[in-house]
């Protein structure tokens, strides 16, 4: 669950992303600019979004009852709204064990990540993992999206509004091996949203206030093809618990875990 | 706001345009339907549909935005919220006042409610709408009457209205309680799909989208 085996090696459920630079952003939207080179330290990122089955372990382990896993604002949020499980937990479709967990606020995603010794990806980490070493537009490369590639809403119209299993679209795999980054569920990132990218180029994370909107990446089954681009940005209030958003986690890599 | 053209690309409308959390209502009979308007600073009254049609009519081309990232400019027919309130001897107070809208709903799904700041709604020329593109509102779009504050995402404006209340409580509505959407519901700077104009456009400031 924490991505590290008993002997200290990275487990197969995480993908290695080596230290290096990548080209972040695009000219398609003002908030994806300026396009610039960004330097990132090595990290590992979950191969798949967190599923309901995995999230259930967090609930069983008392994740919603342990304030040490939550930020003070997150703890206050779940107490104020009497939250003890995801919003769609008992829905047979959205709560199916094999599909990504959804209906979780940013605070619930962060608490889960802390519980398993990880954190949420910065949007730079997310975008690099999606683009792969080749820096592609979509996780699968440069082909324009079509319904055989991902779960999204072509032209804004879902073909069928449902969650899909992370492996349902065999080509929806990034160059670093991450599965299901485009469509199905957008994914919470650590950063707050600001229009455009601030100055700086090394391991950037933008934190304004916990209550401000946070970035989500990757698009979802209700959003159109434009949101499937690795560079596309979206943002929501951290308390949003609709069936649009899930998440995956990251952890830093130690030198001996690089290979 | 004075553009009188009808909606382009009528066939390109997302299915969420027709999303109806609490309905749509069925068996709705205009001869028995009433809009109840009550609360602080106004005379209470129940309006028949034909009485509402006697208020000063407006037709305005305005853009609404869905929280799921698409948008459409259409021509709306109806009357101003401010004219409705004036007909009820409104005291004009907006400080600490809010407008709670409640739908007719259905026995199975209940009603949908949403509350918005009254002063902002009046200032933004919020409408009560009974026509779109020159036709009566379809049932899934909010027949017989829908509220619209165009500075807010669509979930803040109730379809199939049954009542309007002026209150001093700014409380969560159905969609905020259900899925955590924000109470303010103000349209945010973001890249939206403009279904009528085609393509995506970045909206760079919060509130009503008046360009294009």
The CATH number covering residue B175 comes to 3.90.420.10
Closest CA to A51 of A112, A100, A118, A96: A100
Q: Do A29 and B180 touch (CB under 8 A)?
A: no
- A228 to chain B nearest CA, in Å? 13
Q: Does residue B197 sit within a domain?
A: yes
Does residue B6 register a pLDDT over 60? Answer: no
| CB nearest to B191's CB, from A31, A155, A239 | A31
Q: Does residue A91 sit within a domain?
A: yes
pLDDT grade, residue B212 (50/70/90)?
confident
Q: Does residue B165 sit within a domain?
A: yes
Residue-number span of the structural domain to which B150 is assigned: 24-203
Task: Decide: A107 and A53 in contact? Cβ < 8 Å.
Answer: no
Residue B68 near chain A (CB below 8 Å): yes
Does residue B198 register a pLDDT over 90? Answer: no
| Number of domains chain B contains | 1
Give the list of residues 6+ apart from residue A47 with CB closer than 8 angstroms, or none.
Answer: A12, A13, A14, A15, A177, A178, A179
Percent of chain A scoring above 90 in pLDDT: 86
| Number of domains chain A contains | 1
Does residue B1 register a pLDDT over 80? Answer: no
Q: Does residue A52 sit within a domain?
A: yes
* Range of weakest confidence among A102-106, A134-138, A204-208, B99-103: A204-208
Q: Does residue B58 sit within a domain?
A: yes
Closest CA to A205 of A188, A238, A197: A197
Does residue B103 register a pLDDT over 80? Answer: yes
- Within 175-204 of B, beta carbons closer than 8 Å to A belong to 179-182, 188-191, 193, 195, 200, 202, 204
Closest CA to A86 of A102, A106, A97: A102
Report the relative pairing of strands A214-217 and A233-236 from DSSP bridges.
Answer: antiparallel
CATH at residue A69: 3.90.1580.10
Q: Do A31 and B69 touch (CB under 8 A)?
A: no
Q: Does residue B84 sit within a domain?
A: yes
C-alpha to C-alpha distances, A19 to A64, A172, B87, nearest whole angstrom: 34, 23, 68
Q: Does residue B4 sit within a domain?
A: no
CA B127 to chain centre: 7
C-alpha to C-alpha distances, A223 to A61, A189, A219, nearest whole angstrom: 34, 18, 6
**Any idea which residue has 């393509």 for tokens?**
B199
pLDDT tens figures, A136-167: 999 999 999 999 999 999 988 888 889 999 99
- Average pLDDT, stretch A92-97? 97
Q: Does residue A46 sit within a domain?
A: yes
Give the list of residues 6+ apart from residue B62 with CB closer than 8 angstroms, or none.
Answer: B1, B73, B74, B76, B127, B148, B150, B208
Q: Does residue A255 sit within a domain?
A: no
- How many A-B residue pairs are in contact by the CB < 8 A criterion? 61
Name the maximum alpha-carbon separation found in chain B. 46
Q: Does residue B78 sit within a domain?
A: yes
- A153 to chain B nearest CA, in Å? 9
- Within 3-22 of B, beta carbons closer than 8 Å to A belong to 12, 14-16
Q: Does residue B209 sit within a domain?
A: no
Q: Do B179 and A153 touch (CB under 8 A)?
A: no
Q: Do B179 and A241 touch (CB under 8 A)?
A: yes
Residue-number span of the structural domain to which A121 is assigned: 14-250
pLDDT tens figures, A11-23: 889 999 999 999 9
For the whole model, what pTM was predicted? 0.92
- A115 to chain B nearest CA, in Å? 23
Contacts of B193 in chain A (CB under 8 A): 156, 224, 226
- Average pLDDT, stretch B138-151? 95
Q: Does residue B104 sit within a domain?
A: yes
Q: Does residue A177 sit within a domain?
A: yes
Q: Does residue A158 sit within a domain?
A: yes
Give the pair of three-digit tokens for residue A66: 């342990």
* pLDDT (0 to 100) of residue B3: 39
Q: Does residue A92 sit within a domain?
A: yes
Q: Does residue A130 sit within a domain?
A: yes
**DSSP label of A119:** B
* pLDDT (0 to 100) of residue B13: 57
């Amino acid at each position: 669950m924490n991505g590290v085996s008993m002997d200290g090696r990275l487990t197969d459920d995480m993908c290695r992303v080596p230290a290096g630079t990548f080209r972040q952003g695009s000219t398609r939207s003002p908030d994806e600019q300026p396009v610039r080179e960004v330097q990132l330290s090595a990290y590992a990122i979950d191969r798949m979004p967190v599923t309901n089955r995995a999230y259930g372990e967090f609930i069983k382990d008392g994740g919603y009852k342990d304030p040490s896993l939550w930020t003070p604002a997150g703890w206050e949020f779940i107490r104020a709204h009497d939250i003890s499980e995801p919003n769609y937990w008992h829905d047979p479709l959205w709560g199916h064990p094999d599909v990504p967990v959804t209906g979780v606020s940013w605070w619930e995603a962060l608490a889960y990540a802390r519980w398993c010794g990880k954190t949420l990806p910065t949007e730079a980490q997310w975008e690099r993992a999606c683009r792969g070493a080749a820096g592609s537009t979509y996780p699968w490369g440069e082909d324009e999206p079509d319904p055989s590639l991902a779960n999204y809403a072509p032209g804004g119209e879902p073909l069928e509004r449902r969650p899909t299993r992370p492996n349902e679209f065999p080509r929806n795999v990034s160059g670093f091996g991450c599965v299901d980054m485009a469509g199905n569920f957008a994914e919470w990132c650590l950063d707050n949203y600001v229009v455009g990218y601030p100055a700086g180029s090394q391991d950037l994370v933008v934190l304004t206030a916990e209550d401000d909107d946070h970035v989500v990446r990757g698009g979802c089954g209700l959003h159109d093809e434009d949101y499937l681009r690795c560079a596309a940005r979206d943002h929501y209030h951290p308390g949003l618990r609709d069936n649009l958003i899930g998440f995956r986690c990251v952890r830093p890599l130690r030198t001996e875990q690089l290979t | 706001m004075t553009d009188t053209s009808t909606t382009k690309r009528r066939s390109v409308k997302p299915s969420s345009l027709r999303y109806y959390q609490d309905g749509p209502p069925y068996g709705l009979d205009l001869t028995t339907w009433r809009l109840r308007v009550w609360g602080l600073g106004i005379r209470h009254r129940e309006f028949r549909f034909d009485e509402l049609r006697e208020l000063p009519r407006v037709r305005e081309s305005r853009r609404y935005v869905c929280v799921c990232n698409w948008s459409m400019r259409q021509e709306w027919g109806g009357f101003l919220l401010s004219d409705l309130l004036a007909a009820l001897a409104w005291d004009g107070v907006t400080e600490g006042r809010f407008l709670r809208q409640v739908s007719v709903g259905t026995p199975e799904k209940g009603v949908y409610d949403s509350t918005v700041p009254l002063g902002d709604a009046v200032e933004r020329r919020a409408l009560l709408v009974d026509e779109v593109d020159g036709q009566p509102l379809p049932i899934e779009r909010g027949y017989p009457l829908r509220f619209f504050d165009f500075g807010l995402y669509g979930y803040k404006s109730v379809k199939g209205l049954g009542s309007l209340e002026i209150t001093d409580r700014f409380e969560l509505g159905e969609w905020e309680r259900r899925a955590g959407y924000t109470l303010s519901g103000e349209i945010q700077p973001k890249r939206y799909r403009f279904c009528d104009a085609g393509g995506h456009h970045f909206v760079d400031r919060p509130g009503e989208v008046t360009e294009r």
